[in-house]
Chains A and B, each alone.
Chain A
Amino acid sequence: MIRSKSHKDIHFADRFFAGTLQAIAWGVPLLLVFIAIFLTWKSLPTIRLFGFSFLTSQTWDPVQDQFGALPVVYGTLVSSFLAVLLAAPISIGVALFLTELAPSWLARPVGFLVEMLAAIPSVVYGLWGIFVLAPLLRTTVQPALAKSLGHFPLFEGPPLGVGMMAAGVILAIMIIPTIATLSREVFLAIPAIQRENALALGATRWEMMQIAVLKTARSGILGAIILGLGRALGETMAVTMLIGNRAEISASLLAPGQTMSSLLANEYAEASGELHLSALLEVGLLLFLVTFIINALARLFVWRSTLGKSPR
């Protein structure tokens, strides 16, 4: 009798332990749902008042209580796509260099340094951007661009240093480690025999990379790029310090702009009116939804199929 009772106790304790852990773990999806509901609820005033025109209006004027998010959505998309455009080829090049080209005595320290790029806090990138990158763009790069390509609207206007271009460049620097290390993992997961087959058929190393590595890793590379894009979309401090912070749409990359995250970082202190706060929270909700969807897609469809496990 006593034996069986203690047996029951053991099972009870085990069930209790497993149940507790499960409850703790369910906290994460609950938190995500709660964040979504809470942000929606708190931004109801502007959702009700402006409806869909919140996304299409260009005026962001807290004084007049007019709120339209189009300029910041535009700024977020343009700066992030610019960053991906700059970072993706470099990152894939770095990943190929690390896995296919460099001997291990070189690949290990270089790989380590690229990972260190990810460890530098965003605000330090911003500081460096203000005092090193922006002056460089203002005095050297942008005048040269204006001289050679100035008749395109893309490179029109005075060279300010800070602006959409500076934001794109700093974002590119910040997402290189993301894309490079994820692509490297994908390349490393490709069996060596596949490379040897290509080489044995007489391919040069580059042809081998095309046939055996890049083609096989297509969807993994796409996943890495999308995850890099997701990181660029939400990056705040460095962008806030470099984009010039003006909520206007301009065709020129030299002009200042504003992203969703930099708008939030700039106006948190002034959000006194209920409507202004609601508008900021709606921008936050948009940012949440966009990054959520992009990351979910990257992980669900692209990544799972290549590596069989989700990246960290």
Chain B
Amino acid sequence: MKQKDYRIALLNTWIEKSSQRRKVINWGVYVALSLAAILALIPLISVFSFVTFRGFSALDWDFFISLPKPVGEIGGGIANALVGTAILVGFGTLIGLPWGFGIGIYLSEYGASKRASAIRFTVDLLASIPSIVIGLFVYAAVVVPMKRFSAYAGGIALGILMVPTVARSTEEILKLVPIHIREAGLALGLPRWKVILRIIFRGSLGALITGVMLSVARVSGETAPLLFTALSNRFWSHRLDQPIASLPVQIYNYAISPYDDWHRQAWGAALVLIFFVLFLNLTTRWAMKKGTK
């Protein structure tokens, strides 16, 4: 009898202790997970605050409207890089948009077959090819035969990079259109291509454009594929068969230079770039949220 009591008491303390241990471990994990979240956000906060504070002091009206000064002279700006980025991204969109839309429509409207899922797979693979490899390919295929770096080449590289993101966002958006809308169109006697283009595609145009904006935001920060293709330019150039300046490449060149004034300008240009990219990201998110509600 006595021995049994003793055993039960022992068992009870063991249970007590082990459940205490489990509770302590549980709380330890809570702390660890919260720390992981904080740790992941520290770089983001640091990048944002440094770019904002260091960049802001470099910004004035002159910075936006003047050309880079020769080496050694203080001042100068990013006007040509801004225009260059606009030209490159615009040219890239001309390639990436129709191609991406075409693939997206195909995958959403004719995407049930095995063949289509194979294509979907390759679109995902294209998205994961490093952008510098795309740049190298365009370099070997366009720049070397033409014997010069050019805005064409840069635009082609950015266009290829846009294709997968535009295609996949188009597919996802068009799939949201309920099937009965397609059936209603077909029941009215419309041919399928008209249903797809005039009803499905046009009806989702707003959402499709937000998808395009996201991929524009992505490629406008791309640097690596432009190094070999558009190169850079310290002067005005709007000719498409000449090297052209761009914001990301200018940040890179200034950041690795030994001059303090160029470092200052690199931060300024980075602030402009980040502001642009985040602005596009935030407005599209906001628009998408509004669209789905």
Interface of A with B (CB < 8 Å)?
10, 13-14, 16-18, 20-22, 24-29, 31-32, 35, 38-39, 42, 89-94, 96-98, 100-102, 110, 113-114, 116-117, 119-128, 130-132, 173, 176, 180, 204-207, 209, 227, 230-231, 233-237, 241, 261, 264-265, 268, 277, 280-281, 284, 287-288, 291-292, 295-296, 299-300, 310-312
Given contact pairs A204-B22, A291-B128, A291-B129, a sample of 13 additional A-B residue pairs in the complex whose CB atoms are under 8 Å apart: A14-B191, A17-B193, A24-B103, A24-B106, A32-B125, A90-B39, A117-B44, A121-B221, A121-B273, A122-B223, A127-B266, A234-B133, A299-B124
For A21, give its contact among B30, B106, B256, B266 (CB under 8 Å). B106
B138-155 near A? 1/0 per residue, CB < 8 Å: 011100100000000000
CB <8 Å contact, A120 and B274: yes
Contact residues in A for B123 (Cβ distance below 8 Å): 28
Contact residues in A for B168 (Cβ distance below 8 Å): 312
CB <8 Å contact, A121 and B129: no
For A204, give its contact among B26, B99, B255 (CB under 8 Å). B26
A35-B133, A287-B130 given; A124·B221 CB < 8 A? yes
A28-B119, A38-B137 given; A14·B193 CB < 8 A? yes
CB <8 Å contact, A234 and B132: yes
Interface of B with A (CB < 8 Å)?
22-23, 25-26, 29-30, 32-37, 39-41, 43-44, 46-47, 50-51, 54, 99, 102-103, 105-107, 109-110, 116, 118-134, 136-137, 139-141, 144, 160, 163-164, 167-168, 172, 191-193, 196, 217-218, 221-224, 227-228, 248, 251-252, 255-256, 263, 266-267, 270, 273-274, 277-278, 281
CB <8 Å contact, B263 and A91: no
CB <8 Å contact, A237 and B223: yes
CB <8 Å contact, A93 and B32: yes
CB <8 Å contact, B277 and A120: yes
Contact residues in A for B191 (Cβ distance below 8 Å): 10, 13-14
CB-based nearest B residue for A87: B40
CB <8 Å contact, A26 and B132: no
Complex CA gap A261/B227 in Å reads 12
Complex CA gap A235/B26 in Å reads 37
Contact residues in A for B30 (Cβ distance below 8 Å): 101, 205-206
A94-B37, A261-B130 given; A123·B122 CB < 8 A? no
B203 CB to closest chain A CB, in angstroms? 17
For B121, give its contact among A20, A42, A310 (CB under 8 Å). A310
CB <8 Å contact, A128 and B50: yes
For B110, give its contact among A18, A98, A114, A130 (CB under 8 Å). A18
For B47, give its contact among A91, A120, A284, A287 (CB under 8 Å). A120
CB-based nearest B residue for A30: B122
For B273, give its contact among A113, A124, A287 (CB under 8 Å). A124
CB-based nearest B residue for A204: B26
CB <8 Å contact, B102 and A38: no
21 contacts between A and B (CB under 8 A): A14-B193, A17-B192, A17-B196, A24-B99, A26-B119, A27-B103, A29-B118, A31-B126, A32-B125, A90-B39, A96-B33, A97-B34, A100-B33, A119-B218, A122-B221, A123-B223, A209-B29, A227-B128, A281-B136, A299-B125, A312-B124
Complex CA gap A25/B105 in Å reads 9
A-B contact count (CB 8 A): 250
A299 CB to closest chain B CB, in angstroms? 6
Complex CA gap A268/B227 in Å reads 8
Complex CA gap A147/B93 in Å reads 53
For A130, give its contact among B107, B131, B255 (CB under 8 Å). B255
B100 CB to closest chain A CB, in angstroms? 9
CB <8 Å contact, B141 and A127: no
A93-B33, A265-B224 given; A236·B270 CB < 8 A? no
Among A21, A38, A292, A299, chain B packs the most CB atoms within 10 A around the CB of: A21
CB <8 Å contact, A122 and B224: yes
A270 CB to closest chain B CB, in angstroms? 12
Among B23, B43, B133, B266, chain A packs the most CB atoms within 10 A around the CB of: B133
Complex CA gap A261/B46 in Å reads 26
Complex CA gap A123/B47 in Å reads 12
A290 CB to closest chain B CB, in angstroms? 9
A32-B125, A310-B121 given; A116·B278 CB < 8 A? yes
CB <8 Å contact, B122 and A29: yes
CB <8 Å contact, A230 and B128: yes
Contact residues in A for B32 (Cβ distance below 8 Å): 93
Complex CA gap A10/B192 in Å reads 9
A10-B191, A38-B141, A126-B255 given; A121·B223 CB < 8 A? yes
Contact residues in A for B277 (Cβ distance below 8 Å): 119-121
Contact residues in B for A132 (Cβ distance below 8 Å): 46, 50
For B99, give its contact among A22, A27, A295 (CB under 8 Å). A27
CB <8 Å contact, B221 and A25: no
CB <8 Å contact, A123 and B251: yes
Contact residues in A for B266 (Cβ distance below 8 Å): 127
Among A114, A205, A236, A299, chain B packs the most CB atoms within 10 A around the CB of: A236
Contact residues in A for B224 (Cβ distance below 8 Å): 122, 236-237, 261, 265
CB <8 Å contact, A89 and B125: no
Contact residues in B for A28 (Cβ distance below 8 Å): 103, 119, 122-123, 126, 163-164, 167
